[in-house]
Structure 1
């Protein structure tokens, strides 16, 4: 078992002292946060040698198999980010030779973003590598284990959705 962050240990100690909340629930939440952080850091370390962030990585896959490219607006929508964020990501990808911006044939004001040969190759190689890495995170899990984990995570999402609804003054969703 990995160690929890100091802030989480301090909160656990204080919660136990005050008997404010079940310590097992707090510990489970903090362990989930620590695990998510560790996965995120490992992902970033794996992408760094390619000069990619997770956001840039996502764009490579959105553009893969799109021979005519996508507009920055379409990329922003599909990636779930703002147009300002897309601009920064595209600038970095273009600087590193992964993408090119092309003017539209019918309307030169429209821009299509396409992968370069380097972008295509990197996307192809990284997809396989990334999928294998994710699979290793679940090594030793049976199909039933994954189903159970998914069900437990869905219960947490449902509880979170209910709490968010209460905070926003909305009705609690069932």
Structure 2
């Protein structure tokens, strides 16, 4: 059951009409994009009842075993987001009662973000639930299938890194 987005079906139909080679590779890429989007949407739907986005969930996860909290810049670095983004995430989590900002005892300019009791309970319950959901996406895979899948994904990453597709050449221009 492959659910391609309309835009991808249209591109495939046009590529087939023009007899473009490698439409099988195009289809595989579009299927991967569709699957990724479906996983993202399902993740968002699972977190939404808790007033969480994936970004906010990551912050809860990072704080769950940090009783002294973390500074906003440490959270940004660990979550892989900008400091501007982390400010918005913390503001939302604070507004919803999941975290609080605490001034440092020695230096009041230093801020630590810590989980509230609500944040701690939510994080602990969702960690197991989220892990189970992720594991369920790969239900029935054998160890060999996991290894094969991982290898195929690594090959795609390598192809992307090496830039095997031409870029910025006159031939690559539409």
TM range, smaller chain: over 0.9
Number of equivalent positions: 169
> What does residue 101 of structure 1 align with?
101
Question: In the TM superposition, what is the alpha-carbon distance from 1:20 to its structure 2 partner?
Answer: 2.4
> What does residue 172 of structure 2 align with?
none
> What does residue 130 of structure 2 align with?
130
CA distance in 2 between partners of 1:154 and 1:166 (Å): 20
Question: In the TM superposition, what is the alpha-carbon distance from 1:164 to its structure 2 partner?
Answer: 8.0
CA distance in 1 between partners of 2:160 and 2:131 (Å): 28
> What does residue 54 of structure 2 align with?
54
Residues 120-149 of structure 1 show CA distances to partners (whole Å, capped at 9, x for unaligned) of 111100000000001110111011111100
* Superposed CA RMSD: 1.7
Question: In the TM superposition, what is the alpha-carbon distance from 1:3 to its structure 2 partner?
Answer: 2.4
Q: Give 3-state SS (helix, strand or coil) of 1:108's partner.
A: coil
Q: How does 1:121-160 map to 2 (within 5 A)?
A: 121-160=121-160
CA distance in 1 between partners of 2:114 and 2:166 (Å): 44
> What does residue 116 of structure 1 align with?
116
Going from structure 1 to structure 2, the CA distance change for 1:165 and 1:30 (only over 3 Å counts) comes to: closer
Note the residue ranges of structure 2 that are not aligned, 5 or more in a row.
Answer: 169-174
Runs ≥4 in structure 1, deviation > 2 angstroms? 164-168
Q: Give 3-state SS (helix, strand or coil) of 2:150's partner.
A: helix
Going from structure 1 to structure 2, the CA distance change for 1:101 and 1:46 (only over 3 Å counts) comes to: same
Matched, 1:65 2:65: yes
Residues 63-84 of structure 1 show CA distances to partners (whole Å, capped at 9, x for unaligned) of 1110110000100111111111
> What does residue 23 of structure 2 align with?
23
Question: In the TM superposition, what is the alpha-carbon distance from 1:17 to its structure 2 partner?
Answer: 1.8
Residues 81-107 of structure 1 show CA distances to partners (whole Å, capped at 9, x for unaligned) of 111100100000000000010000110
Question: In the TM superposition, what is the alpha-carbon distance from 1:167 to its structure 2 partner?
Answer: 4.4
Scaled by the length of structure 1, the TM-score of the pair is 0.93
CA distance in 2 between partners of 1:145 and 1:113 (Å): 41
Question: In the TM superposition, what is the alpha-carbon distance from 1:166 to its structure 2 partner?
Answer: 6.7
